[in-house]
Structure 1
Amino acid sequence: MKWTRVDLQKYEQAKEYIDTVIVPLAPFQIGALDATAKNADQYEILTLFARELEKELMGRIMLTPTYTYINSAERSEEAERLNQWTAHFNEQPFKQVLYISFDPSWRKIANDLEGEFIWLPTIPLKDAEPAAIKDMIRDQTMQTAELVKSFW
Structure 2
Amino acid sequence: MKWTSVDLQKYEQAKEYVDTVIVPLAPFQIGALDASAKQADQYDVLTLLSRELEKELMGRIMLTPIYTYMNTAEKSEEAERLNKWSSHLKEQPFNHILYISFDPAWRKVADSLDGEFIWLPSIPLKDADSGAVKGLIRDQTMQTAELVKSFW
Q: Give percent identity, aligned residues only.
A: 79
By how many angstroms is 1:42 displaced?
A: 0.5
2:67 maps to 1:67: yes
**Corresponding residue of 1:148:** 148
One-letter amino acid of the structure 1 residue matched with residue 72 of structure 2: S
Structure 1 residue 93 displacement after superposition? 0.4
Q: Distance in 1 between matches of 2:47 and 2:108?
A: 23
- What does residue range 30-69 of structure 1 map to in structure 2 within 5 Å? 30-69=30-69
Secondary structure, aligned partner of 1:18: coil
- Partners in 2 of 1:132 and 1:107 — Cα distance? 28
For 2:109, what is the secondary structure of its paired residue?
Answer: helix
- Give unpaired runs (5+ residues) of structure 2: none
2:86 and 2:134 map into 1 onto residues whose CA distance is 31
Deviation at 1:70, TM superposition (A): 0.1
Q: 1:2 aligns to what SS in structure 2? A: coil
1:105 maps to 2:105: yes
Using the alignment, how far apart are the partners of 1:136 and 1:10 within structure 2? 30
* Structure 1: runs of 5 or more not aligned: none
Which residue is equivalent to 1:90?
90
Q: Secondary structure in 2 aligned to 1:140?
A: helix
Q: TM-score, normalised by structure 2?
A: 0.99
Q: Secondary structure at the match of 1:97?
A: strand
Q: How far apart, in 2, do the equivalents of 1:10 and 1:18 lie?
A: 10
1:25-66 deviations in Å (ceiling 9; x for gaps)? 000010010011011001000000000000000000000000
Q: Which runs of 4+ in 1 moved over 6 A?
A: none
SS in 2 for 1:22: strand
Deviation at 1:115, TM superposition (A): 0.7
Task: Report the count of equivalent residues.
Answer: 152
2:118 aligned counterpart, secondary structure: strand
RMSD (Å) for aligned C-alpha atoms: 0.3
For residues 31 and 115 of structure 1, the distance between their equivalents in structure 2, rounded to whole angstroms, comes to 31
Opposite residue 132 of structure 1, the aligned amino acid is A
Mapped to 1, the partners of 2:65 and 2:89 lie a distance apart of 13
Report the 3-state secondary structure (helix = DSSP H, G, I; strand = E; otherwise coil) of the residue aligned with 1:31: coil
TM-score, normalising length from structure 1?
Answer: 0.99
Give the match's secondary structure for 1:143: helix
* CA distance in 1 between partners of 2:111 and 2:86 (Å): 14
Q: One-letter code of the match for 2:24? A: P
Which residue number corresponds to residue 134 of structure 1? 134
Please tell me the residue identity of whatever aligns with 1:61. I
Q: For 1:69, what is the secondary structure of its paired residue?
A: strand
